[in-house]
Chain A
Amino acid sequence: MIALDGVRKRFAGATTAAVDGVSLDVAAGEICVLIGPSGCGKTTTMRMINRMIDPDEGRILVDGRDIARVDPVELRRGIGYVIQQVGLFPHLTIAENVATVPRLLGWSAARVTQRVDELLALVDMDPALYRARFPRELSGGQKQRVGVARALAADPPLLLMDEPFGALDPLTRAALQDEFLRLLRELSKTIVFVTHDMDEALKLGTRIAVLREGRVVQYDTPAQLLAHPADAFVESFVGEDRALKRLALMTASRYAVPMALDAGAHRLQAGASLRDALALLLQDGARPLAVIDTRDVVVGGLDLQTIRAALAAAPSM
């Protein structure tokens, strides 16, 4: 879907390149997360995909087309774009904001109206209630919902998102991340997602590219990144608690084993993570837990040994 090949960019007046020979492939339907400290070139890399910035060297293919030969305006109308500050148009209603790209594409009024309502419902904003409101009347989380709806309006196959949930409080951020994942299960989009928050990257990413000083240090699945950080930089960036982060990615039911459980054992839903299991174990004097399915049937047990074994046995998923 997207291929970056030896992409390099140095801004006028800068001594070093912002992006220094980045090559990345993103398959259709993947969420590619670009992560790294400030100034690592993650935003510049993303902005070159819709030609907000043109590279000095290298090639970028979107859907097999070399974008250097595509008119930037036409290219951008086919790519969803979401930024941290949302950038809603303050003088236009929510409906008019969402309708931006369809109108640029010359859709009929009836089709635009229908699409706007559909999208507002999709991002969990009641169209009847919010259609005619203005951006200043919305909370930060609501604004970003509208931002996402606006980016999805013309149903682009590809979405670029620059720290879309970065300015939100932790609760709202987590809620929007969950909803975003749910939304993507229905829509199937290819996404390039910029963040500096490793937890967010691990939660959303199909693959994560860790950038440092304009180069990709490691490009891997979340599980691989946690289990096998390529170097000390990635390891420190992933965090001291990477064992816990790995556990958060592992589902309890998959690692539960048959074992003797007493009747009073704590019960854990099958869909919970091993991190949840560990928390419960620590709280409860390490007594084995019963993992139950949706019908309350015990599918197996977990204790400290099984969790350690799971961590050792599962370098990748």
Chain B
Amino acid sequence: MLAEAWRYLVAHPAPFATALAVHVALSAAALAIAAFVAIPAAIAANRRPALAIALANSANVGRTLPSLAVLALVMPVLGTGFVPSLLALTLLALPPIVQNTLAGLRSVEADIVDAARGMGMTAREILRRVELPIALPAIFAGLRTAAVQVVSGAVLAAFIGGGGLGDFITAGIAMMALPQLLVGAIPVTLLALGVDFGFGALQRRLTPAGLRA
């Protein structure tokens, strides 16, 4: 079975390379956009309790939505193709990053912030020198979760014509061709594992020494 999958791959190198590139580009772009939106949003909400609660609640709701439902919601509005897929994946990546950034910032004890303020740090200096470094491990945990979700979720982009490795899987299912399905499924799995491992290593490296258990 695996040998057949391998033969299929060797026979179709160009479509595979394209699908892989699209898959990676889709995932990376979605994660980057989500990070640029979610982290500043969580930082902004951190000092405003009402906003923080609203944001945390919507993140909670967001996390319960199945990936397929997100795609189904996006398609009627934006149609099909790369951009709608990108948007759907970005929506998928937002909640874990928001939740973890909020949790990380909330884990900074009030006394630490009080001491920082009392010594004459501006709000900006407190954020940059105290809150963010302490919240960094949690923020990276969020990015890690989001990255794995996006890489595996990107398979579904094939349903709305977004391309990526999901194309092989959907085609394999439609034609009952298991080797072709595996040509999509195995690389996606490896990719997700690799992303998980990579972000995990990065998270450990970026944890300040004083915070390592």
Residues on A lying within 8 angstroms of B by beta carbon are: 50, 52, 72-78, 81, 83, 85-93, 100-101, 104, 134-136, 147, 150-151, 160
Contact = CB atoms under 8 A, between A and B. Distances in A.
19 contacts: A74-B120, A75-B120, A77-B119, A81-B115, A81-B118, A83-B111, A83-B118, A87-B114, A89-B115, A89-B130, A91-B133, A91-B134, A91-B209, A91-B210, A92-B208, A93-B210, A104-B119, A104-B121, A160-B118
Contacts of A89: 112, 115-116, 129-130, 134, 210
Q: Label chain B's interface by main secondary structure.
A: helix
Interface of B: 109, 111-122, 125, 129-130, 133-134, 208-211
Given A101-B120, A134-B209, A90 B134 contact: yes
Given A73-B122, A104-B121, A104-B125, A87 B116 contact: yes
Nearest to B115: A87
Question: Which of B109, B118, B121 lies at the interface centre, i.e. has the most chain A CB atoms within 10 A of its CB?
Answer: B118
Contacts, number: 75
A87 B112 contact: yes
A52 B112 CA distance: 14
Contact of B115 (A73, A78, A83, A104): A83
Given A90-B112, A91-B211, A135-B210, A52 B118 contact: yes
Question: Which of A50, A74, A88, A92 lies at the interface centre, i.e. has the most chain B CB atoms within 10 A of its CB?
Answer: A92
A93 B130 CA distance: 13
Nearest to A133: B210
Nearest to B134: A91
A306 to B, nearest CB: 48
Nearest to B121: A104
A76 B125 CA distance: 14
B106 to A, nearest CB: 15
A101 B208 CA distance: 21
Given A91-B133, A91-B210, A134-B209, A86 B118 contact: no
Contacts of B121: 73, 100, 104
A100 B115 CA distance: 11
